[in-house]
Structure 1
Amino acid sequence: MCGIVGYVGGRDAIEVLMGGLRRLEYRGYDSAGVAVIADDGRLATHKRAGKLGVLEADLVAEPLPEGGTGIGHTRWATHGGPTDVNAHPHLGDDGRLALIHNGIIENYAVLRDELLAEGHTFASETDTEVAAKLVGREYAATGDLVSAFRAVVGRLHGAFTLLAVHADEPGLVVGARRNSPLVVGLGDGEQFLGSDVAAFVQYTRRALAIGQDQIVAIRAGGIELTDFAGRPVEGEPYEVAWDASAADKGGWSSFMAKEISEEPEAIEQTLLERVVDGVVVLDEIAEGFPADVLSAVTRIVVLGAGTAAYSGLLGKYAIEKWAKVPVEVELAHEFRYRDPVLDASTLVVSISQSGETMDTLMAVKYASERGARTLSICNTQGATIARESDAVLYTRAGPEVAVASTKAFTAQVVALYLLGLHLARVRGALTDDEIRGLTDELRALPAKLRTVLQTGPEIRELARSMSDTRSVLFLGRHVGYPVALEGALKLKELAYIHAEGFAAGELKHGPIALIEPGQRVFVVVPSPRDSTSLHPKVVSNIQEIRARGAHVLAIAEAGDVAVLPHADEVLRIPLAAPMFEPLLAVAPLQIFAMELAAAKGLDVDQPRNLAKSVTVE
């Protein structure tokens, strides 16, 4: 959720901090603040509720003094509402220490009572101020910020990233993390900290992820990394695969519009060097999952939340069909609370765009502790879930700034399909010729998807004509069912209207009661060429709801004439094998949700109440 930035170096810290926070806006927030140690040794802070523009205007009207050491934060309210006083930074040691925090300190009430008993007072309702007071108390005793951190972090329960500066130690920012992301940006004569590499990629693409229960101290000349006990730790630097320009709108009306346009490229990049002579080769998972391990897998459990879970449902269809392995798809936040049966023959595949989704991270840890093998699919280098897993398959979609996922979903599905084909080959479930036929379909998708995206203006007009719609239903069967779920989720996220996705076969088992004259219903129509004979069943569903006055909007493949007499609107997608149609059918629904939200005057990149990376349970 929250955005965190830290800086030490020769630049104006406020400029670096505000730029980093601007690039982290996608994470979701409702207040913002900065702290800087001025060149004259003063600690100066400013924080405001609202968007970054409010804080920026204040800083223009009343500039903070210049300095080369600082921290910045965007907060998503948990403890206490989104007010000026609850915004970060919070102060300790009589206002000489400033601290920012991402996550939730679960035992803050006990610690707060301890401080109250000692005579401390609190200005805010936050758990963060408790941490600031604790670190400030320890600093007063030790005179050393790193030692003060070490004395406090082991007492905190929950998930947290903490950054702090102290007026007595200019040129130093100290950070710590547990179950919440923190990354170092390695510069030349300057160092950066961020909750995401986007915080500093404008200045350096060399990064180092901070591990679980570690403390980092950054100074202009370098970094020191230790565990919570003070033992030195060796980090593993890596190169960020994209630059700051990739996170700019580039002339598009929104980040979401740009990211939908990048879906064909996201597929191409995810396939790059993973299909050799028509056969899938996943060298990056070979060490963690050699052929004998994959051959011994008897069951796969796919974990995700929201959009990631829906991509997992599509992966289930593909993996079971191609690799002949039973697959279960579970919501990550429910998984570990039901005491699931796991063993060494179970492969747990976790899906997370950020690689920091707390529900999914805790589920992965749970699975590992119980002997299951773990593979993560994520889009962010050095992410915690990737490092906690036995192997990782990166989606290579590039930065996704809009809160509601689009191109990451598409890339996740492609990665799952690659995994399914790799498993099929290793386990002998498909011949190489059969796999080549399927990879030919995969490699044809980007061009077909570009054709779909050209229908954007048509979908925009449709969305504008429905701007006063208050409820939309989505139906699909087989691989069309997860597409219906994802279409409904996008509409809920962006347009704030009632939207539900159903398996079309469930229609007569209850949902048909929702159908009334004028009800808008999107139907994902399977190919009439599909041997499952689902096409006539779905056309029958359309007839049933049309007979009750519904307005039907069908997504059907080119040449499907059977659907024409029964649908009010038909959005066409190119011909593709049935398993690959979802990657074409989902794009019109993404565009529709975006355009309907825009027609209502809503912010499609930052929907209310949502955060890009959910880093608390």
Structure 2
Amino acid sequence: MASDVPAILKYTRNVYYIGNMEIAKLEKGRVTFYNIDGDVIEKPLTEITWDAESAEKGGYEHFMLKEIHEQPKVIRDTINSVVSDGTVHFDSVNLTDEEMKSIDQIYIVACGSAYHVGVGLQYVIENLTSLQVRVELASEFRYRDMKLNKNSLVIVISQSGETADTLAALRMAKDSGVKTLGIVNVVGSSIAREADNVFYTLAGPEISVATTKAYSCQLVAGYLLALQLAKVRKEIKDERYSELLTEINTIPEKIEKILENKERLQWYSNKLVNISDSFFIGRGIDYAKGNKEVHHEKSIYINSSISSNT
């Protein structure tokens, strides 16, 4: 038994995830699961696809540097999980074309860095479709008297799949009879188990406090969702769809080229290493990106802010 998968990966790749109000009885050679009423329940055995080395530094000086360099691979893996033959396939997400056509309002609910992903996706979805998108902090969404339309889609974003406020917001949405979609990184997490549909980002374990690869994968997942919504709802031309999907497919290669230019990156690092304050300016989706960078820099103890009209 363990609180997280990395603790037992050197012993096994097969795990059971136990949920709230569930009981596990361990005996030699077997395990039996019960609900709170004492009834036997069946639970699926989950195979972990990443190894223990993924949770180690792998020769890098620190985890953040390692995770920055892992971005091309994990973004490529996330794209390839739903893209083939020049189109997006949401079979694994279990979101049908009919369901996407019936949506008339989208709520994106998250905390921390995932919230800033949602703000960026709001611009993308509204730009590609006629849908209205509202982005809400999960810590506020769960305490408001929300009048959710039955044709709404509530998207919750969480790297761990265990963010308490986001999980509570998900449950509130489900209690309202609204369809839910989780964008999560951890297979078998609470959000992954409870959301109606799940889009897994394949970022692997992220150890650093300041998110890098998980954030990038969440953005890419959201872009793919936005693109497919536009296609299914016939709000984008085939040529434009193919053009944008091609652009998404080139993201890993572009990041690789940036990371290969180590001398230039070091030059920028030397220029900025001693700053005590940073200020960002942006408009539209760049404002969303700027807010994410403010959040990011604060998480590594740099005072940071972005201009606004308030």
More strand by share: 1
2:23 alignment counterpart:
215
1:216 offset after TM fit, Å?
Answer: 1.2
Q: Which amino acid aligns with 2:305?
A: E
Residues 469/285 of structure 1: CA separation in 2 closer, same or farther (3 Å cut): closer
* Amino-acid identity (%): 37
Q: CA RMSD in A?
A: 1.6
- Distance in 1 (alpha carbons) for counterparts of 2:225 and 2:245: 12
8 Å contact from structure 1 (residues 355, 380) kept in 2: yes
User: Aligned match of 2:115 in 292, 295, 309?
Assistant: 309
- Distance in 1 (alpha carbons) for counterparts of 2:270 and 2:28: 52
More helix by share: 2
Q: Which amino acid aligns with 2:243?
A: G
Aligned residues: 310
2:302 alignment counterpart:
497
- Distance in 2 (alpha carbons) for counterparts of 1:344 and 1:483: 31
8 Å contact from structure 1 (residues 209, 383) kept in 2: yes
User: Aligned match of 1:448 in 231, 244, 254?
Assistant: 254
Find out whether 1:361 has 2:182 as its counterpart. no
Query: Residues 413-562 of structure 1: matches in 2 within 5 Å?
Result: 413-494=219-300, 496-502=301-307, 506=308, 509=309
2:197 alignment counterpart:
391
1:404 alignment counterpart:
210
- Distance in 2 (alpha carbons) for counterparts of 1:362 and 1:309: 15
Larger Rg: 1
Query: Residues 296-335 of structure 1: matches in 2 within 5 Å?
Result: 296-335=102-141
Q: What whole-Å deviation, never above 9, does each CA across 1:279-318 have from its counterpart, x for those lacking one?
A: 21111233xx322221111000001111101111121111
Q: Secondary structure at the match of 1:400?
A: coil
TM-score by length of 1: 0.49
User: Aligned match of 2:35 in 227, 234, 238?
Assistant: 227
8 Å contact from structure 2 (residues 25, 32) kept in 1: yes
TM-score by length of 2: 0.95
- Distance in 1 (alpha carbons) for counterparts of 2:37 and 2:267: 60
1:258 alignment counterpart:
66
Q: What whole-Å deviation, never above 9, does each CA across 1:58-99 have from its counterpart, x for those lacking one?
A: xxxxxxxxxxxxxxxxxxxxxxxxxxxxxxxxxxxxxxxxxx
1:459 offset after TM fit, Å?
Answer: 3.9
Q: Which amino acid aligns with 1:267?
A: I
Query: Residues 267-346 of structure 1: matches in 2 within 5 Å?
Result: 267-286=75-94, 289-346=95-152
Q: Secondary structure at the match of 1:194?
A: coil
1:558 alignment counterpart:
none
Q: What whole-Å deviation, never above 9, does each CA across 1:361-404 have from its counterpart, x for those lacking one?
A: 00000011011110000011011001111010001111112122
Find out whether 1:203 has 2:46 as its counterpart. no
1:471 offset after TM fit, Å?
Answer: 1.5
1:67 alignment counterpart:
none
1:87 alignment counterpart:
none
Which structure 1 residue ranges, 5 or more long, are not aligned?
A: 1-192, 511-617
User: Aligned match of 1:237 in 45, 52, 74?
Assistant: 45
- Distance in 2 (alpha carbons) for counterparts of 1:348 and 1:362: 13
Q: Secondary structure at the match of 1:268?
A: helix
